[in-house]
Amino acid sequence: MAAASAVTVTRGNRQFQGAFSEMFFVTATLDPASLADGVGETETVAVPGVALGDIVIGVSNSLDLQDITVTAYVQAADAVELRVQNEGAATVDLASATIKLLIGRPAW
């Protein structure tokens, strides 16, 4: 794989320049079951106020995920669905962890 070149990084606090009319900052505890290779589970997080069309911008986790992927989307009004999927070769049993979600409502 080739290394990226001509990379530009800008840091600051411009915060999407009005791209979102509303933002949701969510913290929750997640304790998924033990997951064998290729196995996943879906969890629903109640998030009052979110609506279809809102965008889950990011998900963070307080643990080393050990080849586990976590994806999220707004599933319905007031509900975000998280998919926790083992993409590694070994069974993984993550401990209970704090997850953080950043959700935005597009202004356009």
Q: pLDDT tens digits, residue range 59-98?
A: 999 988 888 999 999 999 999 999 999 998 899 998 898 9
CA–chain centroid gap for 24, Å, is 13
- The overall average pLDDT reported for the chain is 89
Q: Do 77 and 52 touch, CB atoms closer than 8 A?
A: yes
Q: Do 78 and 50 touch, CB atoms closer than 8 A?
A: yes
Mean pLDDT of 9-30: 84
pLDDT at res. 9: 64
CATH topology of domain 20-106: Deoxyuridine 5'-Triphosphate Nucleotidohydrolase; Chain A (2.70.40)
- pTM (two decimals): 0.84
